[in-house]
Amino acid sequence: GVTGMEEILARVVAPLPTYETRDKSPPPPESNSLDFMHFYKSLDKEDRLSFLTKLSQDFGVDHKSVSELAVKLLDTQLRDLATILQVEDRLRYNLTPRYKQLLNHISRVEGGVKFLVDLRADVLEIISSKASESPHIKDLNGTLKSLLSEWFSVGLLRLERITWQSPCEILQKISQYEAVHPVRNWTDLKRRVGPYRRCYAFTHAAMPGEPLVVLHVALTEDISDNIQSIVREFATLHSEEDVNKINAAIFYSISSTQAGLQGVELGNYLIKRVVRELQSEFPHMAQFSSLSPIPGFSSWLQGLLSQYRKEGRGSDLLSEQEWREVEQATDSPSGTLAVDALRKLIGTSEWLRSERLSRVLEPVLMRLCAWYLYGEKRRGYALNPVANFHLQNGATMWRLNWHADTSPRGVANSCGIMVNYRYFLSETSKNSALYLQSKVVVASEQVLGLVSQFQKNSKL
Ligand SMILES: CC(C)(COP(=O)(O)OP(=O)(O)O)[C@@H](O)C(=O)NCCC(N)=O
């Protein structure tokens, strides 16, 4: 109950020691942290919300002492620098939320770091579900994120290669965490860690046996344009005897496993770390690229078509010739609006099996997809989350691939199209800065060509 919450908070969230005694006060008993963790875990979702609201509101920054110190700092502007630095340090110290010390103490007990990762996952869920709009909860998230970013910095992470000889419990987790191309069975899993494949994970000493982020790589002759050739059933090759068949590394799946570590950028660090690992194993390897899904393209396209239809601008999206071909190919009853015929057509996956329909739709869907990835933005950044991820890493939007994922899911999500985000190693830091600061998307001639075809057709 509420009193229980107030009682435990008052007892375990020690007041901030005074500035003078800040380094002298003994740490509170470990039992405080354990009691807090135990109590929190016993709460249901609703009680956790009110508990975290109390924690962040009543045990955060002492705003009164901060404002007094801010005034004092203003008064000292004319004083000598040493005094100013002293008052600034005092102000900095008083800006520490009271609960931050508790979080630090929790990180030092067994299972404490994992507890805080899961606690931040709860806080992120509260924020994203808008269960609370409290600025204190956002502050708590900021404090947790900055602590976790320190503890999970790349120097403290361990790169682990997962093979068929790895412990079952790790292989089981790799299979369970695979978010992009679900693992079907043992044979499938065995192939993904077998010849011409690599599977790497970052782990952390504070969370033993827990892969934090997992990257699946295919070693190929050149950059793959199709996912079935990577994850489809085929006899596992005996061994990697043919090294000069290995010139490229294809990142075909990456998944972070801890919701509470969102924003800590583990995926980006893992890709860069794995590139270095592969370069030392295959010194001649020069091609590094993803083969990425395009989640959201089909639904975006359906929305675009219905919007154009409402505005009577359906014809803008395709050329006269293309509309005629769509109408002939779908032998849609006369009078049906061509744009409706097209919506119905791409609403199912039959068109993929028809050679004629595929030929008609390829130029149309490829240029629409290029615009979706390159032109559609959210707050200036790529609307598509996977594009945004790789562009933040400094990858180049390099090649759109037709019939790249012919699985039902691939056709339903992105009309079977996939994209290579290519990592030109000497360009990634420049491209990343360009994208993050000036929102410039670096793309290849193929992509830019498709985009300009879209713009010509749609007079956008
Ligand atoms: C793509 C991933 C791995 C990026 O994670 P990460 O590098 O930690 O980014 P962030 O969460 O720090 O922004 C993550 O967003 C994820 O697991 N997405 C779902 C699966 C996928 N690959 O889209």
Mutate to test the pocket of ligand 1, among 273, 389, 391, 418 (most ligand atoms within 8 A of CB): 389
pLDDT at residue 233 in the model: 61
Percent of the chain at pLDDT above 90? 77
pLDDT at residue 56 in the model: 97
Q: How many Cα atoms sit within 13 Å of 164 on the Cβ side?
A: 12
The dihedrals phi and psi of 153, each to the nearest 5 degrees, come to -70, 155
Q: How far apart are CA 80 and CA 176, in angstroms?
A: 61
Per-residue pLDDT of 234-277, as tens digits, reads 655 667 667 778 999 999 999 999 999 999 999 999 999 999 99
Q: How far apart are CA 265 and CA 213, in angstroms?
A: 10
pLDDT at residue 405 in the model: 95
Q: How far apart are CA 318 and CA 300, in angstroms?
A: 16
Please say whether the beta carbons of 219 and 240 come within 8 A.
yes
Closest ligand 1 atom, residue 267 Cα: 7
Residue 390 designated active-site: yes
Mean pLDDT of the chain: 92
Per-residue pLDDT of 382-406, as tens digits, reads 999 999 999 999 999 999 999 999 9
pLDDT at residue 78 in the model: 79
ipTM: 0.95
Which pLDDT band, with edges at 50, 70 and 90, does 2 fall under?
low
Mean pLDDT within 341-367:
88
Nearest residue (CA) to ligand 1, atom 11: 262
Mean pLDDT within 423-448:
98
Q: How far apart are CA 433 and CA 265, in angstroms?
A: 15
Residue 395 C-alpha to ligand 1 middle, in angstroms? Answer: 15
Which pLDDT band, with edges at 50, 70 and 90, does 312 fall under?
confident
Q: How far apart are CA 362 and CA 356, in angstroms?
A: 10
* Residue 148 CB less than 6 A away from ligand 1: no
Please say if the pLDDT value at position 26 is more than 90: no
Residue 26 C-alpha to ligand 1 middle, in angstroms? Answer: 40
Residue 259 C-alpha to ligand 1 middle, in angstroms? Answer: 9
pLDDT at residue 76 in the model: 82
Which pLDDT band, with edges at 50, 70 and 90, does 334 fall under?
low
* Residue 101 CB less than 6 A away from ligand 1: no
Report the chain's terminal Cα–Cα distance, integer Å.
Answer: 58
Per-residue pLDDT of 86-138, as tens digits, reads 999 999 999 999 999 999 999 999 999 999 999 999 999 999 999 999 999 99
Closest ligand 1 atom, residue 256 Cα: 17
Per-residue pLDDT of 401-410, as tens digits, reads 999 999 999 9
Please say if the pLDDT value at position 431 is more than 70: yes
pLDDT at residue 353 in the model: 83
Residue 267 C-alpha to ligand 1 middle, in angstroms? Answer: 6
Residue 191 C-alpha to ligand 1 middle, in angstroms? Answer: 23
Mean pLDDT within 27-42:
95
Which pLDDT band, with edges at 50, 70 and 90, does 336 fall under?
low
* Residue 286 CB less than 6 A away from ligand 1: no
Which pLDDT band, with edges at 50, 70 and 90, does 1 fall under?
low
* Residue 419 CB less than 6 A away from ligand 1: no
* SS3 call for 161: strand
Backbone dihedral region of 449: left (phi > 0), alpha (psi from -120 to 50 degrees) or beta?
alpha
Mean pLDDT within 55-62:
95
* Residue 361 CB less than 6 A away from ligand 1: no
Please say if the pLDDT value at position 205 is more than 80: yes
- pTM of the model as a whole: 0.91
Instruction: Select the more confidently predicted residue: 456 or 420.
Output: 420
Of 206, 205, 212, 117, give the one whose Cα is nearest residue 170: 212
Mean pLDDT within 140-164:
96
Closest ligand 1 atom, residue 269 Cα: 7
Nearest residue (CA) to ligand 1, atom 21: 255
Which pLDDT band, with edges at 50, 70 and 90, does 232 fall under?
confident
Q: Which of 33-42, 417-426, 436-445, 451-460 has the lowest mean pLDDT?
A: 451-460
Backbone dihedral region of 124: left (phi > 0), alpha (psi from -120 to 50 degrees) or beta?
alpha
